[in-house]
Structure 1
């Protein structure tokens, strides 16, 4: 045989069916073993699979590594290559063999962590015991968890004084020697601020821990959130002064940069009946070294013009609690109701408490003066209402959160005995929830309900009555178009209101989403006539919050043009 023919023969012997499309088939495994082998073999592209000896050797090494990670060191791997017309199948028959069992489990805690319940809980739940099958992933996970927990709880000198894993494949045994020396636990030291513009008394009351308290990383996270919630600072950096450590005490340094003294935000909306709506907000996050702030909103639309200002005064011993005073004036025309126009003045004093459960409790006293012209009759109302409100908002995931929930409950009482113009109790409740499945599916639900108990509907100023319709609660219907005018009493608005909404959103690309929704509800005086609205929408997760464009259809509107366009910018809950 010539040299050239011999080389060609050897080439085909080594390459096997490299010129044919080869299918890989794994046999003999199930459960976790099969999953782990598949993970290791996922790196091979379909074009790389062949029957060559080189590929078989590479495949065998990966399979053995995958099985050893789960404690199987005596596996057997056999290859069978079958060829057909233009196709080939490489069958890999695997016998995992007997697993390696833990013979010695010498796992010891040393140092202050010996009496720490969390470390002992980790060992109880994760430490391998004698007789368990060796699992390298769980062994490494235990080591990582001990080190991570030590860092979170202030055991900064923690180390493994002994870390040895002995595997004896021929005996199917493994010996673990893991000695974790936590050392001493560090304590919080004094907190030093720099760059702050607020008095030290207010700043010290923000610290959620005391000097000498055992270190806990979550306390620093809470501290950072408290500082951010004040809206006083544009930049916050909290770090430990490691060079100043003395007697296992870690001083904390907080570097701050004040926010700009003025900021302006805008919001826009649109509906077919009202036209464009504009909101302009001016915010002074700090007016003085006691952290007082001022916020003003201007709302303009074809039927409503309103301006409102709020002055906030944080308490020195607890800045998350505060007093707030607000005043607003406005003019409103109810475009969906004939001949209705109001002029409103609001003055309120509030006391806010942040409760441990993340709820805000707000006690308030509100004075309302309203001049209303309804069907060519003008009335004035002087209402004085003490009230109590509970509010909670939780969210995660930025301006367009992946998850969020909001709850609000408000009660206001008016009584002629203290000089108010009517006797009634006004109740309002709201709930909202946002959830996500994966990165491309969001669900948004909202519910809103209210009632006025006591006074006759005609004795209530229009701003205290309830309306439904528009982009906030019942799409497919005009803004505050429900209930329809009551011809028997010549009044607008309702004594009761209840609406609910369910919405599904699908990410099309990047920050763009499509939405489908169903809304249900109404406002009424005596007997409800619930309405349904359905539609589609577009969402854009803009840098300043969700932008929503909805095309709604009122199934029960009774109008020839039941199709409505709604546009809004701002939070979904």
Structure 2
């Protein structure tokens, strides 16, 4: 028995050692570059490397694929030669199959017969589409451009309301012997449909207010982009939980108008949101928000929120009154209470504001308002209470392109307030603040962020100015490497008193390490002062994560001008970068 097993083992070893090993074959394409090389590579990618060989059958298959790839780009007469390197007599030797390709002369468009009939004949979008099709006389024929133009004509017709459009003739002829191509595309658009009446179904808001969200008028030429805009406008109103916009294409009308039906369902009457967060500047914080997105048939809304953290407790409430242009014009009445106990500030601040808002198409937001400020405070060795009536104006804009961490974006704002004793203010004051921030990306892996904030308060009697109208800087969104609002002028007791002016700037570079994780390096400079600035600097490194709920930032910062022993700070926060 043992002898039998030993014999079997020896037989297996001899058998497998005698089996020939399979050789590897490499495939190399030479003579092509640019889009010709790319297209040939795409055609050949369907062949597995394990199928490579030097056989005539495989060479025929390669030649057929290369020929088809070149024809698609207008090269109908290629010259293809094969060279085999390696010992063909040795089946175990590795080989290389070299394919030398001369694409030959390109096939030129000799006749370009592209005709648009019907109302689209004079439509500039159709003319532009044909001009940019790369199917003009003298150009190299490209089958992708030919099929692409047909598809683009269909899509454009649907987008612009030529619903009866059809091709009368489509033909691409090629004479390989003469390297000539003949393009024939005849498209008959028929009449262009227009928007008809828009019917609103299921709305709890007054009809004319919902109709103000419609971005077109009956009789305007149909455009699908305006149907999408209508859907977006209805969603932005926050009045509805579901929205359906349906063009009634099957409706037969003599004037080719297209009735629109909008079906909506009311939004829930009450919305509650909670949030928890943490920042090393202010510690743990929690937020509770409540909102009624629609209060009555006029579309009024009301909301309130409470935010709690160690240094600050705030409560805000607002009442919004939309005007005729619901999305762009509205009144807002707001009340806010803030209790701050941090550093050398102990303040209870109340604000009541009456605001008029305008939103413009280019993203600018203008607000004219009057706010009434009452503040009871202790600031260092100063204490008192203040009453101010402050008319003001604000211009702001935020733009971005991208997702959680966009590669392009900017934010600008400027605010001016004025108080006067004749308007019940304790002293005459003009307060101006401004902000600008920019995000720019290079490629996919490099981002640059820069920010500049500045402000000034000009008062007849500085001793009458409460802490909320003075300036303090420091912290994650101000000057990293320093504590939250711990930088300002100090009195004789070395306590913070707040400054009449402030300026901070930041420059940050980010590099994508992997996926949604980025590394950052930054430098911040700034100060809050009354007489002469003493610029403070902070530098550091950070980690960024583009999380599903927003950018997460962790910074390790060093205050170059901080007090000895207090130079190192860790800043952590969740929220927008601008």
Scaled by the length of structure 1, what TM-score is found?
0.90
Distance 1:288 1:462 in 2: 39
Structure 2 equivalent of residue 297 of structure 1? 305
Output one character per residue of 1:309-364: Cα deviation in whole Å (capped at 9) or x when no partner.
111100135443100001112221232x3xx3111111110000122322111101
The size of the alignment, in residue pairs, is: 554
Give me the whole-angstrom Cα distance separating, in 1, the residues matched to 2:47 and 2:460.
76
Correspondences of 1:172-321 after superposition (within 5 Å): 172-247=179-254, 248-272=256-280, 274-321=282-329
| Counterpart in the other structure of 1:67 | 70
CA distance in 2, matches of 1:558, 1:286: 52
Q: Which moved more, 1:36-45 or 1:362-371?
A: 36-45
1:394 counterpart residue number: 399
Task: Note closer, same or farther for the CA distance 1:470–1:86 as it changes in structure 2 (3 Å cut).
Answer: farther
Conserved 8 A contact 2:233-2:327: no
Find the partner of 1:19 among 14, 19, 22: 22
* 2:357 is equivalent to residue 345 of structure 1: no
Q: What displacement does 1:32 show?
A: 3.0
Match of 1:7 in 2: none
Is the Cα–Cα contact under 8 Å of residues 451 and 495 in structure 1 kept in the other structure?
A: yes
Among candidates 459, 467, 472, match of residue 467 of structure 1: 472
* Partner residue in 2 for 1:526: 531
Which sections of structure 1, spanning at least 5 residues, go unmatched? 1-16
* C-alpha distance in structure 1 between counterparts of 2:248 and 2:410, whole Å: 38
Q: Unpaired segments of 5 or more residues in structure 2?
A: 1-19
Indicate yes or no: 2:131 matched with 1:124: yes
Once the 2 structures are TM-superposed, how far is the Cα of residue 31 of structure 1 from its aligned partner? 3.3
Cα distance, 1:46–1:468 mapped onto 2, change above 3 Å = farther
Q: Deviations over 1:536-573 (max 9, x none)?
A: 44444444433333333323323314222223233322
Equivalent residue number for residue 558 of structure 1: 563
**Alignment match of 2:157 (pick from 129, 150, 159):** 150
Structure 2 CA distance for partners of 1:198 and 1:537, relative to 1, 3 Å: farther
CA distance, structure 1, for counterparts of residue 387 and residue 239 of structure 2: 37
Q: In 2, are the aligned partners of 1:516 and 1:537 still within 8 Å (CA)? A: yes
Supply the distance in 1 between the matched residues of 2:519 and 2:288 (Cα, whole angstroms). Answer: 28
Which residue of structure 2 aligns with residue 28 of structure 1?
Answer: 31
Between 1:299-308 and 1:52-61, the stretch displaced more is 52-61
**What is the match of residue 502 of structure 2?**
497
- Deviation larger for 151-160 or 117-126: 117-126
User: Does structure 1 residue 423 correspond to structure 2 residue 451?
Assistant: no
Q: Deviations over 1:227-286 (max 9, x none)?
A: 222122222221212233423211112222322222223344434464222232222211
Deviation at 1:144, TM superposition (A): 2.1
Q: Cα 1:396–1:286, aligned 2, differ >3 Å: closer, same or farther? A: farther
User: 1:431 and 1:206, CA in 2 relative to 1: closer, same or farther beyond 3 A?
Assistant: same
CA distance, structure 1, for counterparts of residue 158 and residue 524 of structure 2: 49
Between 1:39-48 and 1:316-325, the stretch displaced more is 39-48
- Equivalent position to 2:59, from 56, 59, 70: 56
Q: How far, CA to CA, are the matches of 2:119 and 2:374 in structure 1?
A: 65
Contact map agreement 1:18 1:51 (CA 8 A) in 2? no
Find the aligned partners of 2:73 and 2:40 in 1 and give their Cα distance: 10
Q: CA-atom RMSD, angstroms?
A: 2.6
Which residue does 1:545 correspond to in 2?
Answer: 550
- 1:39 equivalenced with 2:46 (yes/no): no
Single out whichever of 52-61 and 167-176 deviates more from structure 2.
Answer: 52-61
User: Larger deviation: 445-454 or 70-79?
Assistant: 445-454
Q: Describe the shift of the 1:570–1:491 C-alpha distance in structure 2 as closer, same or farther (beyond 3 A).
A: closer
Change (3 A) 1:149 1:560: same
Relative to structure 2, which stretch is displaced further, 553-562 or 309-318? 553-562
CA separation in 2, counterparts of 1:377 and 1:254?
A: 61
**Counterpart contact for 2:82–2:99, Cα < 8 Å:** yes
2:169 aligned with 1:162: yes
- Alpha-carbon spacing, 1:455–1:149, altered in 2? closer, same or farther (3 Å): farther
Any idea what SS the aligned residue of 1:152 has?
helix
Structure 2 equivalent of residue 479 of structure 1: 484
Classify 1:491/1:459 alpha carbon distance in 2 versus 1 (closer, same or farther; 3 Å): farther
1:85-124 CA distance string (max 9 Å, x none): 9542221111112221212111111010011111112222
Q: Specify which of 77, 80, 83 is matched with residue 83 of structure 2.
A: 80
Deviates more, 1:58-67 or 1:499-508: 499-508
Instruction: Give the secondary structure class of the aligned counterpart of 1:142.
Output: helix
Q: Which has the higher mean CA deviation after the structures are superposed, 422-431 or 524-533?
A: 524-533
